[in-house]
Amino acid sequence: MPKNDELRVIASKAKQSPKVLEAEITLPDGSQRRNKKHELLEIKNLSVSVACKIVLDNVSMSVKEGEVVGLLGPNGSGKTSLGLTLMGHPRYQVTAGKVMFAGKNLLAMKPEERAKAGLFMSFQNPLEIQGVPFGKFLFTAYKEVKNPNISAKEFIALLREKCQFLGVEQSFVERSVNEGFSGGEKKRAEILQLAILEPKLAILDETDSGLDIKATKIVAQAIKKISQINPKMSILLITHYEKFLNQLKPDRILNIEKGMVK
């Protein structure tokens, strides 16, 4: 893991080279004006407790549409807690603050409503679900979140296309969700979910952890590809590793320490 000083250098580099987030709009008179991309996620003064412990302390931050934001911080600083709170995990009690997502009050929404609104999180430690084929799991999720009317035939075609796109073997989706998957396969399974669900905001929680150098590169390239074909998709990229950040080139990097985002 890079040391704090190294992370600060990466953070300052990212700040120096922000990706352009403003689009040119041509007005009827031929002149041009800039159209500032709007905030997709706005967190204001968010405090969260879990098991009587404060895990997020007065956090304010935002993510714009199409923006890739890196989130760095030492172990136990609250990165996963932030993601799970946004997803609506019942253990994480919001004690103060406000969160707006795509113009709606996120905190008033149930977890499934948040997913339908376009929020997605890939887990740091994906769970195994015995007896549920991964393809069936994806089909159910797709129908719930994206399109309840898609037929099995149409979905199989979509799944085949996404597997090819990510270089994932078809047999992968016939196995039970994550059961017996290697660490690297579990992370690729998370990315396949991302490719299928195409959310508005993807919270990727250490998608690179436990991967060897080659697999890290494959996963980074896959995320890049998904982000290129979905330029409006925003990504909150939680990681400890400089290499992964360098491969994905976030627009901004935020640091979290002891539950406080700086």
Ligand X SMILES: Nc1ncnc2c1ncn2[C@@H]1O[C@H](COP(=O)(O)OP(=O)(O)OP(=O)(O)O)[C@@H](O)[C@H]1O
Cβ proximity to ligand X: between 53 and 214 the closer is 53
Distance CA 109, CA 105 (A): 7
Distance between CA 115 and CA 86 in Å, rounded? 10
Q: Where are the beta strands (DSSP E) in 74-198?
A: 93-101, 104-105, 119-122, 129-133, 176-177
DSSP state of 22: E
Smaller CB distance to ligand X: residue 120 or 139?
120
Task: State which residue, 56 or 159, has the beta carbon closest to ligand X.
Answer: 56
Q: How far is the CB of 198 from Mg ion (least distance, A)?
A: 24
Contact between residue 45 and residue 58 where contact means Cβ atoms under 8 Å apart = yes
- Rounded to the nearest whole angstrom, what is the least distance from the CB of residue 86 to ligand X in the complex? 12
Considering the rule CB under 5 A, would residue 49 count as an interface residue with Mg ion?
no
Q: Which is nearer to ligand X, 194 or 256 (CB)?
A: 256
Residues forming a β-bridge with 96: 47
**Identified binder of Mg ion from the candidate list 80, 85, 178, 234, rule CB under 5 A:** 80
- C-alpha 158, offset from chain centre: 21
Distance of CA 177 to the CA centre of its chain: 19
Q: Which spans of this chain sit near ligand X (rule: CB under 6 A)?
A: 50-51, 53, 55, 73, 75-81, 91, 124
Site string for Mg ion, 83-122 (x = CB under 5 A): ----------------------------------------
Residue 81 interface partner, choices Mg ion, ligand X, none, CB cut-off 5-8 Å depending on type: ligand X
Count the site residues for Mg ion by CB under 5 A: 3
Q: At what angle do helices 152-166 and 183-197 cross, to 10 degrees?
A: 130
Minimum separation from the CB atom of position 124 to Mg ion (A): 5
Q: Which does 207 bind (CB under 5 to 8 A by kind): Mg ion, ligand X, none?
A: none
What distance in Å separates the CA atoms of residue 198 and residue 49, rounded to the nearest whole number?
30
Which CB, 87 or 132, lies closer to Mg ion? Answer: 87
Q: How far apart are CA 237 and CA 70, in angstroms?
A: 5
Residues that bind Mg ion (CB under 5 A): 79-80, 124
